[in-house]
Amino acid sequence: MYSRRVLERSLPRWPGPSAAKKLISSLTAVLLTLFCLSAQADDPKVTVANTFIDVHTGPGRGYPVFYIIEKDEEITLEKRRTDWIKVTTRRGKSGWIHIDNLAHTQDASGQVPDIAAATQDDYLERRWEIGFATGDFDGADALSLNAGFRFTEHLTADLRLSQNTGQFSDSQILSVGLMHQPFPEWRVSPYFRLGTGQIRIEPSATLVEAEDREDNLFQTSLGTYVYLTRRFFLRLDATQHQILTSRDTNEEVIEWQIGFNVYF
């Protein structure tokens, strides 16, 4: 009897509609919707002007070259993934060419397509950026997500959401801020940021029976963007948090972060 109970417990459980299964079915529905949205028509055509172009089997330099498009051959541009463009030739050959090759093509009006790999200069014209960072929040491990909207080359408004997991308490911070980059065109571009938001602190349940508390805070940050490649930046950040507690004194916490940002 006892051994049967142990056996029953140790056998894998296949519950009916478990949380996991529900998640799977709802996500499959999302997948199908995305598939329907991806259908496209009216793809642009270009003609190879003055050289030949290697066609790879996949969107990467490591995928083998299986076809070469010759001069004066017309190709249809289907879609783009990172720096690769899927093309179809008149003979129905389909593969991927590197975006730099478009400089050797002409569209129907005889002009070179204005489609090129992203550079640091493009960053100055783009509006949106998103990224994540990890670091240290006064001994707690911090993980944060940020999204920014650029008004001008120098000014960005951003939203930061972070989760700090510590030994004695966990906390979440939601803040909005304004960031100033005096030299946005530099490869290593420093910034200064002022922010305000709210922190929610949850003491560890195993240690003390304390209540969650919410406080307002101000943030002052110094940091720098380091342009890596394409749309990709490394971000280093030091933020001083001035937490306005309900007690007599305010708390001051310094947070260090390292993260990655991409712009759109």
Write down the least CB distance from residue 124 to another protein, Å: 16
3-state secondary structure of 84: strand
What backbone phi and psi angles, to 5 degrees, belong to 201?
A: -110, 130
Write down the least CB distance from residue 224 to another protein, Å: 19
155, β-bridge pairs: 180
Which residue lies nearer to another protein by CB, 5 or 91? 5
Write down the least CB distance from residue 160 to another protein, Å: 13
Q: Are 216 and 192 in contact (CB under 8 A)?
A: no
Q: Which of 223, 213, 216, 214 is nearest to 258 (CA)?
A: 223
Which residue lies nearer to another protein by CB, 59 or 148? 59
Q: Which of 253, 173, 170 is nearest to 206 (CA)?
A: 170
Which residue lies nearer to another protein by CB, 11 or 249? 11
Neighbouring CB atoms inside 10 A of 90's CB total 11
DSSP sequence for 163-213: EEE-SSEEEEEEEEEEEE-S-TTSSEEEEEEEEEEEEEEEE-TTT-----E
DSSP sequence for 17-64: S-HHHHHHHHHHHHHHHHHHHT------EEEE-SS-EEEESSSSTTSP
Which residue lies nearer to another protein by CB, 39 or 248? 39
Give the torsion sign (CA, 105, 106, 111, 114). negative
Measured in whole angstroms, the distance separating CA 20 from the mean position of its chain's CA atoms is 26
Write down the least CB distance from residue 190 to another protein, Å: 23
Write down the least CB distance from residue 252 to another protein, Å: 22
User: How many residues are present in the chain?
Assistant: 264
Which residue lies nearer to another protein by CB, 109 or 249? 109
Write down the least CB distance from residue 59 to another protein, Å: 6
Which residue lies nearer to another protein by CB, 21 or 90? 21
Write down the least CB distance from residue 262 to another protein, Å: 6
Which residue lies nearer to another protein by CB, 205 or 211? 205
Give contact residues for another protein (rule: CB under 8 A): 2, 5-6, 9-10, 12-13, 15, 18-21, 23-24, 27-28, 30-31, 34-35, 37-38, 40, 44, 46, 57-64, 77-86, 107, 109, 111-115, 132, 134, 140-141, 143, 145, 163, 165, 170, 204-206, 229-232, 260, 262
